[in-house]
Structure 1
Amino acid sequence: MTVAPTSDAVAPGSRLPEHPDFLWNNPEPARGYDVLVVGGGGHGLATAYHLARTQGVSNVAVLEKGWLAGGNMARNTTIIRSNYLWDESARIYEHALTLWENLENELDYPVLFDQRGVLNLAHSLQDVRDSVRRVNANRLNGIDAEWLEPAEVKDVCPILNVSPDIRYPVLGASYQPRAGIAKHDHVAWGYARAAAGLGVDLIQNCEVTGIRTSGGRVTGVRTTRGDIAAGKVALCAAGHSSVLAGMVGLRLPVASHPLQAMVSELLEPVHPTVVMSNAVHVYVSQAHKGELVLGAGIDSYNGYGQRGSFHVIERQLTAALELFPIFARAHLLRTWAGIVDVSPDASPIIGRTPIAGLYLNCGWGTGGFKVTPGLGDCFAHTVARDEPHPFVEPFGLERFTTGALVDEHGAAAVAH
């Protein structure tokens, strides 16, 4: 059941969003559609919206095995940035950030995008070299980026411990002022309402159990609510992408891992930006309501459980308290995990598959939320026109045989 937002989830001056139950209908699935989008998270909803809004394909259904945005969309730490090292990655993430900046107006819905900036801390000379390199690469790509010395870091985030005698002293940081956070539920509800208004069917509690093909081409899907015919099927299922692809014998080069996050009790506003650290592997921000939001790296084991390991929680809290001693007496409210799909080069896989009419969007690992608007636009173009959008063309499945990898392992600062 979708939970309605409460008034404390809305920033001062913003209008209250409508209850989600009133934003869209819950139709029975039709016998067939031009396009089926499998996965009702941010990527699936944004893709369906852009299919109808930008590409003129309105006979579309989104199939979600649970409730809309009940998977990774509701389990991420909502950080938005575009300061990636490689040109290919920077291009798609900057496209997304540009769309984020007008998304509230486009959807006519309060997504609460707050451009409070993101700091990526450097704790060693190698961190400094890598960070300065990334700042220069960002600037060459027209992306806002700055290198800050420790005193300047302290000016941006006064509660951060920049003492030189801690275990991992802060030697500086890269800073992207246009980066920030948004309210993930509001983003999903905004896209869902807009897509439904354009004629898209949003079908919840409809798990795909098989993909039908004939003559090397997709013809539809089997679901827990019956067979549904389709001219095209677009997979947007994050950590379960390999399970779906396996239904047509397609083995994907991705591994699924739990990714943990946690929040504290509600606090007064004290944390003005987003702070990320690769060396101690933690990132901390403060949500609109006031809770601290903390994340870390993925759990090392493969799995589909939406929970994580205690030792990861212990390590990330230790790291967070070294950076923010002010939070030592804060109480942890809850922890959870999402299921992320990681590719060999830590970059996404987007585009056509060997099965005609079957399209793939996966491998985003820990970075899927921030690219939601840009991915929806580019993937809808790819599906509707059966050719990759220029921004996603480098991320095709074929790169794992050609060797044209986009290696983002450690190149894009801390994973999230």
Structure 2
Amino acid sequence: MPFNLLKYGLSSEYPVEVDLPPPTELKPSYDVVIIGGGGHGLAIAYYLSKYHGITNVAVLEKSYLGGGNTARNTAVIRSNYLTSEGVRFYAESVKMFQNLSNEFDFNIMYSERGQLTLAHTDATVRAFRQRAEVNKHFGGRTEMIDRQQIRELVPSLNLDPGHLPVLAGLWHIDGATARHDAVAWGYAKQAAKRGVEIHQLTEVQDLVIENGRITAVKTNRGTVKCGCAVQAIAGASSLMLAKAGIRAPIHTYPLQAMVTQPFKPFLDPLVSSSALHCYVQQTSRGEIVFGGGSDPYPLYNTRSTLDLKESLLAHAIEMFPFMANAKLMRQWAGITDMTPDYSPIMGLSPVQNYYLDAGWGTWGFKSTPICGKTMAELVASGGKVPELIKPFALDRFSTFQQVNEMGATAASH
């Protein structure tokens, strides 16, 4: 990366490399159609083309690339989950994130900063000890730290909010952030180089299913035949599933976040509190990002609300009292598809050759690389589910084999 920047800067012609080719007409058919041009859909296309030689692929995005939840999340990367299945999966994703800039030759602004999760009760301390051991067992760098270590790590943190003093913390050294739109564009650029077609402003309006098998997708630009299709959308997973005649236990809620004016750097780790239902981080531009729980009612809307702003900021100020004087610059929302066990749905569907990447709730961005890789393996094999994603099958809800990640973060749980 530094060598390429130097070569570019010293060139007399300043060559400009186009990230994506110009738009083209849809072909009559493709081997693979991927519904959704966010991080997940683009990652699946990239890994299909790079590792499996499948390039007759169309990524269909109803808006612009990465314009859904990929553009609206707060870009946290971590693997300190509750279950062995979850930790194994997300730990692989963290490892892949660490090398993405080099793999893409495209800077995703990956920054390993660590995540600190606060424990305010004895029960939480016991639960954190278990989480730390599970993480260590599967290669994650997670440990318990005491109040003095927390004070040294985050000097500006209030350790004694009125009714919830901090007793200990779960320190996840692997916690990081990356630029979300850069991740999407890195995958898009490299997939397009290998022949994948990426079609923006192309909305899938219906699915053509014959004899229990998907054969085509109907879009606002015409009908396209396909050998198989992958659903990789966020915020409207259940609506697309309904077009395929598939029932899934997914409920959709808005999830809001906000950001302040920029400050000089003072907060390197990501700090969250499940009891206060709030997480706080400082961006590379100095802005302070706040996030917390989702709205308590289902809704397909990305509007902001005053009541969420008031409750979330009240909790953030308990953690960092001096922020009471900070000026808020922006507030926004995404749409989260929540499952009963707070884990995603990946793998096969009741419709033959229609593969699912859905129900990601608040954790879709951090799984982008490993989800793309494993889903590409699934598609390329013709339906052989990789071991890493077998626990996340849709039928786990009918066999009562849920992967319960409730309470694994300060957001939405």
In the superposition, the TM-score normalised over structure 1's length comes to: 0.93
Aligned residues: 403
Please name the residue that 2:398 is paired with. Answer: 401
What letter corresponds to residue 240 of structure 2 in structure 1?
A: L
Q: CA deviation at 1:21?
A: 9.8
Please name the residue that 2:83 is paired with. Answer: 86
Please name the residue that 1:229 is paired with. Answer: 225
| 1:28–1:227 Cα change, 3 Å | same
2:170 to 158, 169, 174: 174
Please name the residue that 1:280 is paired with. Answer: 276
Give deviations 1:9-34, integer Å, cap 9, x for gaps: xx9x9889x99993102222211110
CA contact (8 A) 1:37 1:236 kept: yes
- Alignment pair present for 1:361 and 2:351: no
Q: 1:179-198 residue pairs with structure 2 within 5 A?
A: 179-198=175-194
Give deviations 1:125-175, integer Å, cap 9, x for gaps: 111111111111111222111101011011111211113x63321111101
Q: 1:64-213 residue pairs with structure 2 within 5 A?
A: 64-163=61-160, 166-213=162-209
| 1:112–1:169 Cα change, 3 Å | same
- Alignment pair present for 1:24 and 2:20: yes
Q: Distance in 2 between matches of 1:372 and 1:193?
A: 16
2:376 to 366, 377, 380: 380
Please name the residue that 1:250 is paired with. Answer: 246
* Cα-Cα RMSD: 2.0
CA contact (8 A) 1:20 1:189 kept: no
Q: Distance in 2 between matches of 1:134 and 1:309?
A: 34
Q: Distance in 2 between matches of 1:291 and 1:19?
A: 33
Paired residue secondary structure (2:367) = helix
CA contact (8 A) 1:299 1:309 kept: no
Please name the residue that 1:298 is paired with. Answer: 294
Give deviations 1:54-93, integer Å, cap 9, x for gaps: 2221111110000001110010011110011211001110
Please name the residue that 1:331 is paired with. Answer: 327
Q: Distance in 1 between matches of 2:42 and 2:283?
A: 23
Give deviations 1:187-237, integer Å, cap 9, x for gaps: 111111111111111100000000011111101100001111100100011
| 1:350–1:64 Cα change, 3 Å | same
What letter corresponds to residue 242 of structure 1 in structure 2?
A: S
Paired residue secondary structure (1:238) = coil
Q: Distance in 1 between matches of 2:179 and 2:16?
A: 14
| 1:233–1:21 Cα change, 3 Å | farther
Q: Distance in 2 between matches of 1:121 and 1:27?
A: 51
1:390 to 366, 387, 391: 387
Q: CA deviation at 1:314?
A: 1.1
Paired residue secondary structure (2:64) = coil
Paired residue secondary structure (1:189) = helix
Q: Which ranges of structure 2 fall in alignment gaps of 5 or more residues?
A: 9-13
| 1:408–1:218 Cα change, 3 Å | same
Q: Distance in 1 between matches of 2:409 and 2:27?
A: 45
Q: Distance in 1 between matches of 2:277 and 2:92?
A: 27
In the superposition, the TM-score normalised over structure 2's length comes to: 0.94
Q: Distance in 1 between matches of 2:119 and 2:15?
A: 43
Q: Distance in 2 between matches of 1:28 and 1:264?
A: 43
Paired residue secondary structure (2:368) = helix
- Alignment pair present for 1:268 and 2:264: yes
What letter corresponds to residue 316 of structure 1 in structure 2?
A: L
Paired residue secondary structure (2:388) = coil
Paired residue secondary structure (1:233) = strand
Please name the residue that 2:347 is paired with. Answer: 351
Paired residue secondary structure (1:133) = helix
Identity of aligned residues (%): 41
Q: Which ranges of structure 1 fall in alignment gaps of 5 or more residues?
A: 1-10
Paired residue secondary structure (2:398) = helix
